[in-house]
Structure 1
Amino acid sequence: MAQLAPLPSPTLALPALIASADDRARLRFLEFFAVTIRNAHTRRAYARAAGDFLTWVAARGVTSLGAVQPLHVGAWIEALGGEMSAPSVKQQLAGVRRLFDWLVIGQVMPVNPAASVRGPAHSQRRGKTPVLAPDEARRLLDTIDVGGPAGLRDRALIGLMVYSFARIGAALSMRVEDVFMQNRRLWVRLHEKGGKQHEMPCHHNLEDYLTAYIDGCELRAQAKGPLFRTIARGTKRLSDTPLPQANAFAMVRRRAVAAEIGTAIGNHSFRATGITTYLKNGGTLETAATMANHSSTRTTQLYDRRPDDVTLDEVERVLI
């Protein structure tokens, strides 16, 4: 059997415990992120968790992977609990646990030291994402100046998230060809997590926004190109570069300020706004879950903010 060439010593790229291990351990560590995780955001989050944990234990005298014990993982989780929210701590633990599972399967470690460690208790029945009232969302869309490519793009992107309940990641992954005609109606194809595709017919407002954007920016001939793009420096025209999520977030905050909206909204706010508005107008939770491509209505319930109205009404009964 052909032998793998020795890996270069990646002292800057890898945590010290991995960099000082043998070639097989280093390769297995790198394979975990390159081979087993396809979602870029998950990969970054798990890489950060693994790096933080391995650096943490090394600073406390642990000199090899085999010396890592459940007690170390438990103490790390306890320390994180004073710095992060429970969901964030659980995500960190999940990343480390999956990494050690992979190392155990590859016979780099005899047991998984994180397997028996419990994360913090957490139960969430109500989402924390800020949402807009329907009139606020309408004002935000109407105040966007669509006299140029940036305005056409921003209105189309925000409209897509509001009317199709699209995640920002799915929206920004779209190509021009993912806006298509079917049964004499415009549809959108969203690329969801896990490689799944989700198709939705367009609300008539969204159809107008997408058509104005694609035609106004002459994108129809670039079917394989990204749908939402950055603005090229000094030209005020669309570039060929996909719009990053950070840029989309900055755009949303900028548009909210221009529309005099005080709520600290983000990219995810429009998904929650669309779902809540749909349910307030007689939509069912089951259909909302289908439209949002949720595998369970329990996830959709986190976006349902109708109980907020009841709470406000009841608070006003305290007539003092």
Structure 2
Amino acid sequence: MPSQSVPALYAGDDHAARRTVEFFTAHVRNPNTRKAYAKAAAEFASWCKTVGIEDLRLVQPVHVATWVEGLELAAPSVKLRLAAIRMLFDWLVVGQVIPMNPASSVRGPRHSVKKGKTPVLGADEARELLDAIDTTSLVGLRDRALIGLMVYTFARVGAVIKMRVEDVYVQNRRTWVRLHEKGGKRHEMPCHHNLDEYLHAYMTAAGLDAAKGYLFRSAVGRTGQLTEKPMSQSDVYRMIGRRAIKAGIATKIGCHTFRATGITEYLRNGGKLEVAQQMANHESARTTGLYDRRDDQVSLDEVERIMI
């Protein structure tokens, strides 16, 4: 967030403006979190302006609570916005911009989640999707390898698109992949035999030999030729949509679908939750449990017992 774009609420003086910019540049390192928090901070500043609050030091807990109550959003979105404001004000308190954090005592809406909302595919659907990809083209080989990587390693798309050629390597006669996850964490996983095949077929066809070059590269229009630039997250999302339509998959899937699909199938076939947690590089087994959709099949089987 450049200093010239800091909302007036946080730019009462040079020190406040500089401290606000530092929060979004030096303190919040994840680009997605930074974008979400900046949006929340701007929304709160806009609300304050509408109610006549132009000085940050005039903001009281009742103002933050009133703003939160007026947000017509789902509970997780409200909690995210409140967390953003709370963290920003903490940073400003430490920087001696304001004497106290007016958001610290404000409670957000209750929200309990036992099952995630990420759409998942059955093993047969995932197989159909992979088999439907035309691997006579370089782009097809790339797409199959990319989707296979997310399925078999439970990788986040953000980690996949940052991979370099050197992040696919051989150790003890087995192909491994190195993922650079959130928070600068490095996560290494051995390859499933299908993924091993997909990766090497793609890398051989593409002639990827520059170790520092990106692994999954964008294509030049419809030419099928790859550039030196990496695919973006939106590139991957659009590609998945096209591949799903071509495979006849009606489920509205996204990048995270394959992480949830891989975890669910691993657990369904006797895998252990704590091992799935390590494979997915989750801090908590509870987070991994949100991706466990085995009960969906149980529910479906039970519904079919209604013989009407």
Counterpart-to-counterpart distance in 2, 1:44 and 1:112: 22
Q: Return 229-238 or 291-300, whichever deviates more.
A: 229-238
Q: What is the aligned partner in structure 2 of residue 5 from structure 1?
A: none
Q: Percent identity?
A: 61
Q: What is the aligned partner in structure 1 of residue 62 from structure 2?
A: 71
Counterpart-to-counterpart distance in 2, 1:187 and 1:109: 50
Q: What is the aligned partner in structure 1 of residue 276 from structure 2?
A: 288
Q: Which residue identity is paired with 1:318?
A: I
Q: Deviations over 1:218-270 (max 9, x none)?
A: 112x2111111111246421111111111111110110000000000100000
Structure 2 counterparts to residues 1-320 of structure 1, below 5 A: 10=4, 13-19=5-11, 21-80=12-71, 82=72, 84-220=73-209, 222-233=210-221, 235-320=223-308
**In the alignment, is the contact (CA less than 8 A) between 2:3 and 2:18 conserved in 1?**
no
Counterpart-to-counterpart distance in 2, 1:219 and 1:9: 41
**In the alignment, is the contact (CA less than 8 A) between 2:187 and 2:281 conserved in 1?**
yes
Q: Deviations over 1:59-84 (max 9, x none)?
A: 2110111111111111111111x2x2
Count of residue correspondences: 307
Counterpart-to-counterpart distance in 1, 2:94 and 2:283: 30
Counterpart-to-counterpart distance in 1, 2:179 and 2:188: 6
Aligned Cα RMSD in Å? Answer: 1.3
Q: Which residue identity is paired with 1:103?
A: L
**In the alignment, is the contact (CA less than 8 A) between 1:225 and 1:240 conserved in 2?**
yes
**In the alignment, is the contact (CA less than 8 A) between 1:153 and 1:228 conserved in 2?**
yes
**In the alignment, is the contact (CA less than 8 A) between 1:16 and 1:55 conserved in 2?**
no
Indicate the SS of the match to 2:166. helix
Counterpart-to-counterpart distance in 1, 2:86 and 2:9: 16
Indicate the SS of the match to 1:198. strand
Indicate the SS of the match to 1:90. helix
Q: Which residue identity is paired with 2:32?
A: H
Counterpart-to-counterpart distance in 1, 2:92 and 2:161: 34
Q: What is the aligned partner in structure 2 of residue 3 from structure 1?
A: none
Ranges in structure 1 where 5+ consecutive residues have no aligned partner? 1-7
Structure 1 runs of 4+ off > 3 angstroms? none
TM-score normalised by the chain length of structure 1: 0.93
Indicate the SS of the match to 1:58. helix
Q: Which residue identity is paired with 1:319?
A: M
